[in-house]
Amino acid sequence: MKGKQEGNQITVVLHLRDQKTTEGILRCLRACDIDARSYDASEKSGDYGVHLHDNNSDLSRSGRAASPGPRLLLYSHLNSVLFEQAVTNGYRGFLDVADVSDRICEAVSLLATGEAFLDPGALDLLLARNGSVGLTNPSYDHAALDTLTPREREVFEALVRGASIHEIGVSLSISERTVEVHRRRILERLGLSNVVQLFHLAFKAGVVTREELLEEFSSRS
């Protein structure tokens, strides 16, 4: 759900317990001409706007009653357990409180338009899902991409952009079985075990952009 807007105005609602942090974030947002206020439980208009929570918030689905709109988690620490809990329960924005002054306006603006926002820490955890490596792990061999044949490269790029086996077959005018053979050979050449790892390698090698990764996260999470 998009934040309520008048013209380009974005509404942001803060669900934070620390008053000093709340005041600092309100100043940052208002400096960007963003309408921001603290949550008031007596209001009945909480169904719009971008809602900001922190590590002390109730991240469960039961906690969504007070903030059904897009939600941003401001964190002082973020691990895989907290990240998965937040993602499972609808959070599409993650920002380290240490970076609030630099990136809070960008974060809420993206969330207000229905896009996701993941800072480097959250992006690393996204890449680390399903047992795959993250941004800081150098174990993927980027040079192995050069061993792919031209046809395998075409299949590789289609796979990491989310195309199905059927769609790849149609676009390349080959059978689905042939696509499956190429997929298996690609994984073998690159020393990977699944397409999730393939996507992560593509991101680290610059084949898939950060924007494409976030789009994939928004559409599938």
pLDDT value of position 10: 83
CATH code at 150? 1.10.10.10
Q: 91 with 71: CB under 8 angstroms?
A: yes
Q: For residue 29, is it within any domain?
A: yes
How confident is the model at residue 133, as a pLDDT? 42
Q: Does 48 share its domain with 118?
A: yes
Final residue belonging to a domain, choices 75, 102, 127: 127
What residue numbers bound the domain in which 159 lies? 142-220
Is 196 among the domain residues?
A: yes
In a domain, 1, yes or no: no
19 and 105 inside one domain = yes
Q: How confident is the model at residue 67 (pLDDT cuts 50, 70, 90)?
A: low
pLDDT at 43: 65
Q: Taking 90 as the threshold, does the pLDDT of residue 96 lie above it?
A: yes
Are residues 112 and 26 part of one domain?
yes
One domain, residues 121 and 163: no
Asked if residue 134 is part of any domain, the answer here is: no
For residue 208, what is the DSSP state? S
Nearest to 128 by CA among 73, 203, 55: 203
Those residues with Cβ within 8 angstroms of residue 91's Cβ, 6 or more apart along the chain or in another chain: 53, 59, 71, 72, 73
How many other C-beta atoms lie within 10 A of the C-beta of residue 136? Answer: 9
Token look-up 């100043």 returns 27
pLDDT score of 62: 45
136 pLDDT band, cuts 50/70/90, is very low
Q: How, if at all, do strands 11-14 and 117-118 pair?
A: unpaired
Q: What is the pTM of this model?
A: 0.64
123 and 150, same domain (yes or no) = no
**Number of domains, the chain:** 2
- Whether 6 is in a domain gets the answer no
Examine the domain organization and report whether 171 and 109 are in the same domain.
no
| Interval 59-74 mean pLDDT | 68
- pLDDT for res 194: 74
CATH number, domain at 18?
3.40.50.2300
* Listed residues 104, 127, 150: the one ending a domain: 127
- Angle, CA of 199, 201 and 202, to the nearest 5°: 65
Mark whether 44 and 81 lie in a shared domain. yes
Dihedral over alpha carbons 116, 119, 121, 124 (to 10 degrees):
50
The first and second tokens of residue 153, run together, are 């490269």
- Give a yes or no: residue 132 inside a domain: no
**If 0-12 CB within 10 Å is exposed, 13-18 middle and 19+ buried, where does residue 163 land?**
middle
Decide which of 80, 102, 127 is a domain's last residue: 127
Give the pLDDT score at 160. 82
- Work out the mean pLDDT of the chain and round it to a whole number: 80
Mean pLDDT, residues 103-109 taken together: 94
Say yes or no: 146 and 191 in one domain. Answer: yes
- Is 94 domain-assigned? yes
> Is 2 domain-assigned?
no
Say yes or no: 96 and 195 in one domain: no
User: Is the model more confident about 213 or about 103?
Assistant: 103
Question: Looking at the structure, do residues 19 and 77 belong to the same domain, yes or no?
Answer: yes
Take residue 210 and report the two structure tokens written for it.
């950060």
What is the C-alpha separation between 27 and 18, in angstroms, rounded?
15
pLDDT in tens, 137-175: 445 566 788 899 999 999 998 888 778 889 999 999 999
113, 173: one domain: no
